[in-house]
């Protein structure tokens, strides 16, 4: 393992492979996998991850916005790329770069047909999204006839898949709601297939859907967080390996007296007698994605296998930790999150989720690709 000499986000491609194979082991052989690499690959490195996923045999790649798909094409990724939430302003470039749009409303469908027809497209691959309860993006159940009519009027589009998104797949107390979403989706897609006369692929499961609803794997599943190493439950987390480790070093150590304070607003005050209080300053702050919410003892880092609580307020570019009882020196390595002390462990302290922390790590932190 690489020893840090500055703040880095280490990306372990072996962990990605492990997670991919674990997800595959939960699927039927013929079920396809769409890897979701939106938001810079959940804050890791979308290009390096996409390349590795292609090597691993991924069927589809998904991003949220057109710009993210363009970056993958610029990097030479040739796999099919689905854009989950394209906006009409970007349809021209989407077609120019062979990205596949999700069409989710009448306005968006009509606009896409117009642009695709103008560009003389025939059977351009598209994905139709239905809303079954998340109430975020998608056609409604009673839009099916209208969508089919539009699709039949044009030769420009070919529906590659029909899909929906689960609202609470990780929450087993919402099982009845989820099963209802799955049932609604099956009714919608059956209806649509009957009317368009061919069978697109069907998919509804995200990572927790894959783990909790095997009966809903259908033709394809979409995994994001699982590939990055989280299973959204204590039990499933054991089967995954976090891909990203945020590491830094101790840039300075201070010994402070009783009554002295640490950081902005003097939020931490030492109560320890006679030069016993020792603090370490770490070059990573809220501008790097470590929220102020982790300050004042909510969050911690690991130094020489020991837990060092964050003291005072997190600053923009650095934070301070309590190392009074830790044998450490300036230059020593610091783990902010990783395999043992995970992003999820940290986010639990502030009522957030792993997704939020890993996608927040700022682009000024170097990504270092490795295979452990
Ligand atoms: C982000 C996203 C996913 C991935 O969800 P995970 O919980 O990270 O597996 C799947 N489908 C859609 C539509 C998404 O927006």
How do residues 253-301 score in pLDDT, each as one tens digit? 999 999 999 999 999 999 998 778 999 999 999 999 999 999 999 999 9
CATH C-level class of 31-228? alpha beta
47 pLDDT band, cuts 50/70/90, is very high
The active-site residue out of 155, 264, 307, 372 is 264
Asked whether residue 3 carries a pLDDT value surpassing 90, the answer given is: no
Token pair of 221 as six digits: 């599943």
Count of C-beta atoms within a 10 Å radius of residue 93: 15
Give me ligand 1 centre to Cα 99, in Å: 18
Nearest CA to 249 out of 277, 278, 281 is that of: 281
Tens of pLDDT, residue by residue over 114-134, are: 999 999 999 999 999 999 999
3-state secondary structure of 95: helix
Q: How far apart are CA 173 and CA 171, in angstroms?
A: 5
Nearest residue (CA) to ligand 1, atom 13 = 165
Give me ligand 1 centre to Cα 295, in Å: 30
Give me ligand 1 centre to Cα 37, in Å: 9
In angstroms, what CA-CA distances link 324 with 251, 278, 303, 308?
16, 4, 12, 9
Q: Which residue intervals of the chain bear CATH 3.20.20.10?
A: 31-228
Ligand 1 close to Cβ of residue 121 (< 6 A): no
Count of C-beta atoms within a 10 Å radius of residue 14: 13
Residue 255: strand pairing partners: 278
Nearest CA to 251 out of 198, 327, 170, 317 is that of: 317
Q: How far apart are CA 34 and CA 83, in angstroms?
A: 12
> What's 3's DSSP letter?
P
Give me ligand 1 centre to Cα 188, in Å: 20
Residue 87's pLDDT is: 98
- Give the mean model confidence (pLDDT) for residues 358-372: 97
Instruction: Read off the pTM.
Output: 0.97
Tens of pLDDT, residue by residue over 173-216, are: 999 999 999 999 999 999 999 999 999 999 999 999 999 999 99
Asked whether residue 2 carries a pLDDT value surpassing 90, the answer given is: no
Residues whose CB falls within 8 Å of the CB of residue 146, separated by 6 or more in sequence, listed in order? 106
Residue 130: which region, alpha, beta or left (left: phi > 0; alpha: psi -120 to 50)?
Answer: beta
Residue 274's pLDDT is: 74
Ligand 1 close to Cβ of residue 165 (< 6 A): yes
Residue 275's pLDDT is: 79
Q: Give the helix/strand (H/E) hosting 203.
A: strand 201-203
Strands 244-249 and 333-337: antiparallel
Verify whether residue 141 is a known catalytic residue: no
Ligand 1 close to Cβ of residue 212 (< 6 A): no
Q: Which residue intervals of the chain bear CATH 2.40.37.10?
A: 244-370
Verify whether residue 175 is a known catalytic residue: no
Q: What one-character-per-residue DSSP string does 254-313 give?
A: EEE-TT-EESGGG-EE---STT-EEEEEES--GGGT--GGGTTTT-EEEETTEEEEEES-
Q: How far apart are CA 286 and CA 183, in angstroms?
A: 43
Q: Among the listed ranges 269-273, 312-316, 363-367, which one has the minimum average pLDDT value?
A: 269-273
Ligand 1 close to Cβ of residue 206 (< 6 A): yes
Check if the beta carbon of residue 352 is closer than 8 Å to that of residue 323: no
In angstroms, what CA-CA distances link 69 with 90, 184, 226, 254?
11, 30, 21, 47
Q: Give the helix/strand (H/E) hosting 51.
A: helix 46-56
- Give the mean model confidence (pLDDT) for residues 90-104: 98
331 Cα distance to chain centroid? 31
Check if the beta carbon of residue 49 is closer than 8 Å to that of residue 37: yes
1 pLDDT band, cuts 50/70/90, is low
Q: In what side-by-side order are the strands of the sheet with 333-337? A: 252-256, 277-282, 319-322, 306-311, 300-303, 333-337, 244-249, 8-12, 366-370
Domain 244-370, classified CATH 2.40.37.10, yes or no = yes
Q: How far apart are CA 372 and CA 370, in angstroms?
A: 6
Count of C-beta atoms within a 10 Å radius of residue 316: 11
């Amino acid at each position: 393992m690489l020893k840090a000499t500055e703040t880095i986000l280490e990306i372990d491609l072996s962990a990605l492979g492990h997670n991919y194979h674990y997800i595959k082991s939960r699927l039927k052989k013929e079920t396809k996998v769409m890897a979701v690499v939106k938001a810079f690959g959940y804050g890791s490195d979308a290009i390096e991850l996409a390349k590795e996923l292609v090597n691993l045999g991924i069927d589809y790649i998904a991003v949220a916005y057109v710009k993210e798909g363009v970056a993958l094409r610029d990097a030479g990724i040739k796999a099919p790329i689905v854009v989950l939430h394209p906006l009409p302003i970007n349809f021209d470039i989407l077609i120019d770069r062979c990205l596949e749009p999700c069409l989710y409303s009448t306005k968006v469908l009509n606009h896409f047909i117009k642009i695709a027809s103008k560009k003389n497209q025939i059977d351009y691959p598209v994905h139709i999204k239905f809303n079954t309860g998340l109430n975020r993006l998608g056609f409604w159940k009673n839009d099916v006839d209208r969508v089919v009519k539009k699709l039949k009027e044009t030769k420009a589009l070919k529906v590659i898949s029909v899909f929906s998104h689960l609202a609470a797949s990780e929450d087993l107390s919402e099982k009845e709601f989820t099963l209802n979403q799955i049932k609604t989706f099956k009714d919608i897609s059956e209806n649509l297939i009957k009317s368009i006369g061919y069978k697109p692929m069907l998919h509804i499961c995200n990572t927790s859907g894959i783990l909790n609803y095997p009966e809903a794997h259908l033709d394809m599943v979409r995994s994001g967080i699982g590939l990055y190493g989280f299973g959204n439950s204590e039990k499933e987390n054991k089967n995954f390996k976090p891909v990203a480790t945020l590491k830094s070093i101790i840039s300075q150590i201070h010994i402070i007296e009783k009554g002295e304070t640490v950081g902005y607003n003097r939020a931490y005050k030492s109560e320890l007698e006679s030069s016993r209080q020792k603090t370490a300053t770490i070059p990573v702050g809220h501008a790097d994605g470590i929220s102020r919410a982790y300050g004042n003892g909510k969050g911690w880092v690991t130094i020489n296998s020991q837990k060092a609580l964050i003291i005072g307020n997190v600053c923009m570019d650095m934070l301070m930790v309590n190392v009074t009882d830790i044998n450490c020196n300036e230059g020593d390595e610091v783990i902010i999150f990783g395999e043992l002390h995970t992003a999820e462990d940290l986010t639990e302290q502030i009522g957030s989720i792993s997704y939020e922390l890993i996608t927040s790590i700022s682009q000024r932190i170097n990504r270092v690709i490795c295979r452990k």
